[in-house]
Amino acid sequence: MDELKVYFNGVMVPGSEARVSVFDHGFLYGDGIFEGIRAYEGRVFKLAEHLDRLYDSAKSILLEIPYTKEELSEAVCATVRANNLQDAYIRLVVSRGKGDLGLDPNKCPVPSVIIIADRIALYPEELYLNGLQLASVSTRRPATDVLNPSIKSLNYLNNILAKIEANLRGLPEVVLLNHQGYVVEGTGDNIFIVKNGELLTPPVYAGILNGITRQCVMELARDMGIPCREQNLTLHDLYNADECFLTGTAAEIVPAVGCDGRVIGDGMVGPITKQTLEAFKRYSRSTGVPVYDKNVATA
């Protein structure tokens, strides 16, 4: 198998040669931002939306990305092409760059920009067919006035702590609550429930990352005539939902059929979940920025 090619500060290099300085503040302090992006059948899905969110995150932490959105868009496509991929998971990272051992970001004059394109399978296929089990965990999502999750930063320790709890319980994913006890999201996925034919999801102000897949699902639901709205949710709401599913760039849409020992609905993947999953598959595989054929229409 050929070695992966990585975009590293404007140059395509073999993955083994892409080295970040030990003085990079992304490594030392988690000082940086990232996006996870998907490519389907030779098109990069929702690339403009991902780049908009990346630049919004950068602005919030006063990080100057040394490329335009157009240049980064082409760099993402070039990385997919360099690895001869049709379907890919793309990780775009911008760290503060090399500095000293102090905290001062002004000591980091040049950010590090890295793009990795590879394949990914977050969950086994059987979980998409039969649904996964969830559990609530003791790790809480910080309040938005402490650390705003809308900034997709390299500081993912909160998510890692929740993932450790998932691993200790032998579960693929868990549910985090905020400081008020409302359901927020998983370690890397947004949460939806279905109740009486209506699709409900926690609001952004509850302390979630407004996922690109989450936004897409809400738009698709409305197009299909499925009522969809944001609402604060408790574990009681989750336990008594008719259906539940998680969304994320890597996970796409994965059903959940139980939480904390309670059966969600009838314990089977529900009809609205199936309908939404099929609609997402059709849409995600028929739109996007073309990687190889520049004559293909973009969206």
**Helix or strand (DSSP H, E) at 273:** helix 271-284
**For the chain, how are helix, strand and coil distributed in percent, rounded to 5?**
30, 25, 40
CA dist 189 and 122 (Å) reads: 11
| Token output for 38 | 């998907």
Whether 152 sits among the annotated catalytic residues: the reply is yes
Query: Following DSSP, what letter does each residue of 60-126 receive, concatenated?
Result: HTT---SS-HHHHHHHHHHHHHHTT-SSEEEEEEEE--B--SSS-GGG--S-EEEEEEE----S-HH
CA of 281: how far to CAs of 83, 91, 287, 294, in Å?
23, 21, 11, 23
Question: Which phi and psi angles does 167 have, rounded to 5°?
Answer: -60, -40
Question: Which phi and psi angles does 82 have, rounded to 5°?
Answer: -60, -25
| Token output for 78 | 């070039």
Nearest to 238 by CA among 266, 259, 221, 255: 259
Q: How far apart are the first and last CA of the chain?
A: 33
CA dist 287 and 43 (Å) reads: 7
Tracing tokens 């336990």 back to the chain, one arrives at 239
Check 107, 152, 163, 281 and give the catalytic one: 152
CA dist 88 and 96 (Å) reads: 26
Q: Which residues are catalytic?
A: 152
